[in-house]
C-alpha cells in the first residue's frame, strides 16, 4: 500500500467550514482516516498549518482567543501522527494577515515528495501560492489530491492538481465531532 501525507491549511478549512457548512466541530483524526481509507493509503502524518491570534496586552478578548487556539493546537498535536506548524500574524494595511503558513506547507510538501517519504500529497487548501509546490511534488512522481470547496478555490491551483475531491455535506457529516 502506498503512503500519503495530509497537509491542512487551517485558515482555509476554518473559513470553508464556517461559510458553507455551518461551522461544525471536526474530528481531525476521523478526517485523516476518512481521507486515507477513501484513497486506500497508509497515512504517514497529518500536518496542520495556522497562526496564533494576536495577544495585545490588557485585551481580555485577545487573551481568551489566544488561550482557545493554544488549547486547540495542543489537542491536535496529541493525535496520532499529527503535527502543527505555526506561522505568524502580521499587521499589513490595518489588517492582520497570515505569514509563513503557505511557505511552511509548501516546504513540507516538497520535502516529503522529493525524499520519496510519500507517494501521495493530500492538500486541504485553496490558495494559488501552493502551485509551485504541487508542480515540484508531481515532478518527483507524487500524486497530488486536493480537498476543497468549489466556491472557495483558485483556478490556478485546480489546474495543477491530479485528483480533485470537493468537500461535500456527506463528507463533513462523516468527520463531525460526536
Q: Which residue has the cell 491549511?
A: 9
Distance CA 173, CA 169 (A): 6
User: What pLDDT was estimated at residue 96?
Assistant: 78
Of 127, 158, 122, the C-alpha closest to 7 is 122
Q: Provide the 3-class DSSP secondary structure of residue 47.
A: strand
Regions of the chain with pLDDT less than 70:
none
User: What pLDDT was estimated at residue 56?
Assistant: 82
The CATH number that applies at residue 53 is 3.40.50.1010
The residue segments making up the domain with residue 67 are: 3-175
User: What pLDDT was estimated at residue 62?
Assistant: 87
Of 127, 158, 155, 128, the C-alpha closest to 144 is 158
Total count of domains within the chain: 1
Instruction: Write down the pTM of the prediction.
Output: 0.95
User: What pLDDT was estimated at residue 114?
Assistant: 96
User: What pLDDT was estimated at residue 98?
Assistant: 83
User: What pLDDT was estimated at residue 91?
Assistant: 75
Amino acid at each position: 500500500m502506498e503512503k500519503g501525507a495530509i497537509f491542512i491549511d487551517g485558515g482555509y478549512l476554518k473559513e470553508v467550514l464556517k461559510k458553507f457548512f455551518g461551522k461544525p466541530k471536526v474530528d481531525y483524526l476521523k478526517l485523516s482516516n476518512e481521507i486515507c481509507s477513501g484513497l486506500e493509503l497508509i497515512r504517514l502524518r497529518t500536518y496542520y498549518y495556522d497562526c496564533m491570534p494576536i495577544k495585545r496586552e490588557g485585551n481580555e478578548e485577545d487573551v481568551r482567543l489566544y488561550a482557545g487556539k493554544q488549547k486547540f493546537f495542543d489537542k491536535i498535536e496529541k493525535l496520532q501522527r499529527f503535527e502543527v506548524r505555526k506561522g505568524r500574524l502580521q499587521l499589513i494595511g490595518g489588517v492582520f494577515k497570515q505569514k509563513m503558513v503557505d511557505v511552511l506547507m509548501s516546504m513540507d510538501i516538497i520535502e516529503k515528495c522529493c525524499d520519496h517519504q510519500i507517494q501521495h500529497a493530500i492538500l486541504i487548501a485553496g490558495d494559488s501560492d501552493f502551485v509551485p509546490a504541487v508542480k515540484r511534488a508531481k515532478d518527483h512522481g507524487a500524486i497530488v489530491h486536493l480537498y476543497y470547496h468549489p466556491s472557495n478555490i483558485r483556478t490556478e491551483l485546480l489546474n495543477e492538481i491530479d485528483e480533485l475531491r470537493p468537500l461535500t455535506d456527506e463528507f463533513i457529516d462523516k468527520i463531525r465531532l460526536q
